[in-house]
Amino acid sequence: MSNSIGSLAEITVYGSRTGMQEDSLTILERNRDSGEEWDLVEAKTSSMPGLYLPCFDMLAMEDAAWLVKVSEASPNVTRMEPHREEPEQCPVIDSQGQGLSPGMDGPEEERSLEQVQSMVVGEVLKDIETACKLLNITPDPMEWNVGNVQKWLLWTEHLYRLPHAGRTFHELTGKDLCAMSEEDFRQRSPQCGDTLHAHLDIWKSTAWMKERCTIGDNKSPGAEDLWSEADSSCSGQPIHLWQFLRELLLKPHNYGRCIRWLNKDKGIFKIEDSAHVARLWGLRKNRPAMNYDKLSRSIRQYYKKGIIRKPDVSQRLVYQFVHPV
């Protein structure tokens, strides 16, 4: 846990900007024959070991001012990945553009380390929160059951285009996982054990920080707000499809390419990538065989309930919430 800030910085550079997008599941396919289990389509991209920048550890700790300086010159500092495969992947991502942008006024270099750190932490928190919602797991790995662990593994593997190692971590709870050393990880998965271990470490660190934040006094207020953001779905009850669609629509940053508003005020939205939305829904509900045919049938059930309808001018893949927010 010693290198938490460094690790957090790592995932921010290589995680949030490349990871938690709708594209991360595009290679997630189910095995049509076995039907009941998520499976991998073999990633065509070679599994590069250098998915994160180890040296950023030191960078974040000692030289954050440098980072800010660089970012002033180039707002895209967070996308300096040495080898990005699929460069067409995510032009949308930087649209948020908050934080590391030239707009940051004032030359208060003393504050910059803190600023960068809390920004980094904030990004990680956001991404972890997104993943938690999508997978319906808690942010704290210690609380994961065997199924949660498998979901997390699958998610992380897809996110970083790792070869499938889930089976070698069978029957492990989150507690087991947390107790494992990097060596243990490497033993179970020589190819990507170290990467998995590093990412688990980030989750552990984040959970640990979160606990510190909520129990103790507000050390990093910006970051804490993100956790208290406890929105809609945290009510305990199983999520409804219409709620899930709303959540995706509320995060255009993450899902804008698979589902988006055509007219937010009227509640009209379009499913741009039906297969992808269905996969996300299946992942959320633990229905590996979910597809658009079935998802759309569920949407149609909403017609008579007055939750969703077809818009006045019916278009393919376009629906409308009867009661817009």
239 and 233 in contact (C-beta within 8 Å)?
yes
**Contact (Cβ atoms closer than 8 angstroms) between residue 78 and residue 12:** yes
Q: Pick from 242, 294, 293, 291: which is nearest to 269 by CA?
A: 242
Q: What is the distance between the alpha carbons of residues 287 and 255, in angstroms, rounded to a whole number?
A: 20
Among candidate residues 89, 67, 92, the one with its CA nearest the CA of residue 80? 67
Helix (H) or strand (E) holding 5: helix 4-11
Q: Which is nearer to DNA, 209 or 258 (CB)?
A: 258
* Phi/psi at 308 (5° precision): -130, 145
Give the number of residues written for the chain. Answer: 325
DSSP state of 143: G
* Nearest-approach distance from CB 133 to DNA, in angstroms: 15
Compute the CA torsion angle 250, 259, 126, 189 (nearest 10 deg): 160
| Of residues 5 and 249, the one with the C-beta less far from DNA | 249
Compute the distance between CA of residue 310 and CA of residue 301 in angstroms, rounded to an integer. Answer: 12
Among 155, 132, 164, 138, residue whose Cα is nearest residue 24:
155
DSSP secondary structure letter of residue 42: P
Pick 197 or 284: Cβ nearer DNA = 284
Tell me the closest approach of the beta carbon of residue 35 to DNA, in angstroms: 7
**Contact set with DNA (CB under 7 A):** 238, 240-242, 274, 281, 285, 287, 289-290, 292-298, 300-301, 303, 305, 310, 314-318
Q: Are 11 and 121 in contact (CB under 8 A)?
A: no
For DNA, give the closer residue by CB, 107 or 147: 147
Residue 252: helix, strand or coil by DSSP?
Answer: helix
Q: How far is the CB of 89 from DNA (least distance, A)?
A: 21
Closer of 162 and 258 to DNA (Cβ)? 258
Residue 247, both tokens: 């959540």
User: CB 283 → DNA: shortest distance, Å?
Assistant: 11
| Nearest approach, Cβ of residue 158 and DNA (Å) | 20
Cβ distance to DNA smaller for residue 196 or 299: 299
Query: Residue 15 CB, nearest distance to DNA (Å)?
Result: 28
Smallest gap from Cβ 314 to DNA, in A, equals 5
Whether residue 197 contacts residue 185, with contact meaning beta carbons closer than 8 Å, is answered with yes
| Shorter beta-carbon distance to DNA: residue 98 or 315 | 315
Q: At its nearest, how many Å lie between DNA and the CB of residue 33? A: 12
Which is closer to DNA, CB of 83 or CB of 297? Answer: 297
